[in-house]
Amino acid sequence: MTIRTRFAPSPTGMLHIGGARTALFSWLYARHHGGEFLLRIEDTDRQRSTPEATEVILDGLRWLGLDWDGEPVFQSQRQAEHVMAAEQLIESGHAYRCYCTQDELEAMREAQRAAGRKPMYDGRCRHRSDQPQGKPYVVRFRSPDVGQTVVHDLVLGDVVFDNAELDDLILLRSDGTPTYNLAVVADDAAMGITHVVRGSDHLNNTPRQVQLYQALGLPVPKFAHIPLIHGPDGSKMSKRHGAVAITEYREAGYLPDALVNYLARLGWSHGDEEVFSRDELIELFDLRQVGKTAARFDQQKLDWLNALYLRQANPSSLVDEVLRFLHADIAGGPDLAEVIATLQERSRTLVELADGARFFYVRPEQYDAKAVKKHFREDTWPLLEAFVSAIEDMASFDRERVHEVIRGICEQAGVGMGKLAQPIRILVSGGPVSPPIDKTLELLGRDETLLRIRKGMERLRQGLLS
Ligand code: GLU
């Protein structure tokens, strides 16, 4: 049997971090078993579904590297099949037309509430044999009154529902459109889905879906309901807790591999290991190791993983990503991959990395006032002048020689190297933080270094900080 899973988002907004994790688990399960991972866009809510939202979801999945098999299925195009399934159920006696009006339904619920019972449809149209012409009707599922429906969940174990609690579900609305549970069952069956992996917020729908499969004479797939993601305060992860849209993580400079690693560990575990490559995840992932309780989102851990992935990446593989955030023309400047190599160790995100790289391509227009105040003293100027004249005549300008020159000047003046290195750093970068000064200057090159130092000295002497 080929394992076939799916992701079935409703394109009504963004790709939520919880949805992305559901997609990841579903993808991992399929890939682990050499099966297929399909995509179904549940766009039946015509008012709220937009092509833009579909694109955002597809883009997010592509960015995360969650590739799907075949073309996405659009649920709205399968309405005829959904209606056929409802008709089949009417014919087999598992569904019926209900002609109750809103007023009748309201009166019924009112009476149930008054009698202290839970309001639910009482099945009064079940035995109706007439079909009043021109009167609107819905199609309802004739759900069993007694017994239990058990969902054998791969994550949660057996979950038992009393059938008496489930009233006769509407399958087709009075305008003939299918409802969620009918559409999902008809589509999952048609797509040959063997394992339904989804958020545990859908668990209450599942006994109804199981009953529908049985009534339609279809094999019941396996289910795996993934507990939700909570924020640090223990409530459902939402905007209040920070970024929830996958695009926000992308824009904040996270690497897809780091996010995938983080999301995989959010609810799934393998011993106490934290770092997994994509291949390792595929090899090791199993729904049985998904936790039963909600996982808490931990920003620090994500940042830690992102920093780790940044550190370990091949610098050239980051060039395109860094360019997205750099907003600078790199032509004529140092090789970006080399610049990245000097910053990887110290950056948590691509945004930080690009921020640290920018001064290599954009001359500083202003200087951090606090840093200037701290590092520029009377005795700074002669040190800088000595440095300028030393490098003016240098035959070759590389990291070792730059280091030697700075060391020599400071030794002679009897001061620590920071007394010269910090002022140089401020003049070439605008601020007090950069990769090691010798490497920084080597990358900038002698001409650019001289130009920046001269220009900076001139400005600061004129008291121009910004
Ligand atoms: N379209 C549903 C949602 O976005 C998912 C349905 C399902 O996975 O069964 O929540």
Distance (Å, rounded) from C-alpha 464 to C-alpha 466?
6
pLDDT attached to residue 466: 47
Residue 35 forms part of a structural domain:
no
Backbone angles phi, psi at 37, to 5 degrees: -120, 115
Looking at the structure, tell me whether residues 245 and 138 fall in a common domain: no
Domain C-terminal end among 359, 394, 412: 359
CA 179 – ligand 1 centroid, Å: 12
The residue with tokens 């930080």 is: 352
Q: Which of 15, 24, 184, 213 to mutate to test the pocket of ligand 1 (most atoms within 8 A of CB)?
A: 184
Give me the percent of the chain exceeding a pLDDT of 90.
95
Atom nearest to 22 CA in ligand 1: 8
Distance CA 466, CA 452 (A): 15
Which ligand 1 atom is at minimum distance from the Cα of 6? 8
Q: Is residue 339 part of a domain?
A: no
Is the pLDDT confidence value at 156 over 90?
A: yes
Question: 351 and 246 in one domain?
Answer: yes
pLDDT mean over 309-321: 97
Nearest to 156 by CA among 214, 216, 218, 207: 207
Ligand 1 atom closest to 184 (CA):
9
Question: Which residue has a Cα nearest atom 5 of ligand 1?
Answer: 8
Are both 352 and 373 inside the same structural domain? Answer: no
* pLDDT, position 308: 98
Whether 141 and 166 share a structural domain: yes
Give the pLDDT mean for 413-421.
97
Asked whether residue 222 is assigned to any structural domain, the reply reads: no
The answer to whether 239 is a known catalytic residue is: yes
pLDDT recorded at residue 263: 97
Q: Are residues 330 and 382 in the same domain?
A: no
Report the pLDDT averaged over residues 172-200: 97
For the record, the structure tokens of 191 come out as 């797509």
Give 104's contacts (C-beta < 8 A, 6+ positions apart).
none
Residue nearest (by alpha carbon) to ligand 1 atom 7: 8
Q: What is the pLDDT of residue 96?
A: 97
Could you report how far apart the first and last alpha carbons of the chain are, in Å? Answer: 69
Which atom of ligand 1 is closest in space to residue 188's alpha carbon? 9
Q: How far apart are CA 102 and CA 395, in angstroms?
A: 91
Does residue 399 share a domain with residue 427? yes
Q: What is the pLDDT of residues 208-234, one digit of tens each?
A: 999 999 999 999 999 999 999 999 999
Among the atoms of ligand 1, which is closest to the Cα of residue 205? 9
User: Are 324 and 389 part of one and the same domain?
Assistant: no
pLDDT computed for residue 464 by the predictor: 63
412 occurs within a structural domain: yes
- Distance from residue 207's CA to the centre of ligand 1 (Å): 15
Rounded distance from Cα 32 to ligand 1 centre (Å): 22
Residue 43 has pLDDT above 60, yes or no: yes
The residue nearest atom 4 of ligand 1, judged by CA position, is 9
Average pLDDT value over all residues in the chain = 96
- Say how many domains are in the chain: 3
The answer to whether residue 131 scores a pLDDT higher than 70 is: yes
- The answer to whether position 298 is within a domain reads yes
pLDDT tens digit string along 220-270?
A: 999 999 999 999 999 999 888 888 999 999 999 999 999 999 999 999 999
pLDDT of residue 394: 87
* Ligand 1 neighbours (beta carbon < 6 A): 8-10, 42, 184, 198, 202
Measured CA to CA, the distance from residue 58 to residue 296 in angstroms comes to 26
| Residue 354 shares a structural domain with residue 399 | no
If asked whether residues 150 and 246 sit together in one domain, one would say no
Residues 271 and 355 in one domain: yes
For residue 141, the enclosing domain spans 78-181
Quick one: which atom of ligand 1 is closest to the CA of 201? 10
Domain's final residue, options 139, 156, 181: 181
Q: For residue 204, is it within any domain?
A: no
Angle at 195 between CA 142 and CA 216, to 5 degrees: 25
398, pLDDT greater than 80: yes
Q: What is the mean pLDDT of residues 374-382?
A: 95
What is the share, in percent, of the chain residues with pLDDT greater than 70?
A: 99
**What CA–CA distance (Å, rounded) separates 89 from 218?**
12
Write down the catalytic residue from 118, 135, 236, 239. 239
Q: Is 240 helix (H, G, I), strand (E, B) or coil?
A: helix
Domain at 327, CATH number = 1.10.1160.10
The residue-averaged pLDDT of 80-98 equals 98
What value does the mean pLDDT take over residues 339-351? 96
7 alpha carbon – ligand 1 mean position (Å): 8
CA of residue 8 to ligand 1 center, whole Å: 5
pLDDT class of 465 with cuts at 50, 70, 90: low
- If asked whether residues 380 and 301 sit together in one domain, one would say no
Whether residues 144 and 100 fall in one domain: yes
CA 148 to ligand 1 center in whole angstroms: 24
Report the CATH number that the domain containing residue 177 is assigned in CATH. Answer: 3.90.800.10
Q: Is the pLDDT of residue 117 over 90?
A: yes
In 10 A of CB 189, how many CB atoms? 19
Domain boundary among 137, 153, 181: 181
pLDDT at 201: 95
Q: At what angle do helices 380-392 and 399-413 cross, to 10 degrees?
A: 140
| Residue to probe by mutation, ligand 1, list 198, 209, 212, most atoms within 8 Å of CB | 198
Q: Locate the ligand 1 atom nearest the alpha carbon of residue 42 and give its number.
A: 1
pTM exceeds 0.75, yes or no? yes
CA of 351 to the centre of ligand 1 (A): 33
3-state secondary structure at position 443: helix
Residue 6 lies in a domain: no
> Which amino acid residue places its CA nearest to atom 3 of ligand 1?
9
CATH number, domain at 419?
Answer: 1.10.10.350
Q: How far is the CA of 9 from the centre of ligand 1 (A)?
A: 5
DSSP state for residue 179 in the 8-state scheme = P
For residues 98-117, average pLDDT? 96
The answer as to whether 451 is a domain residue is yes
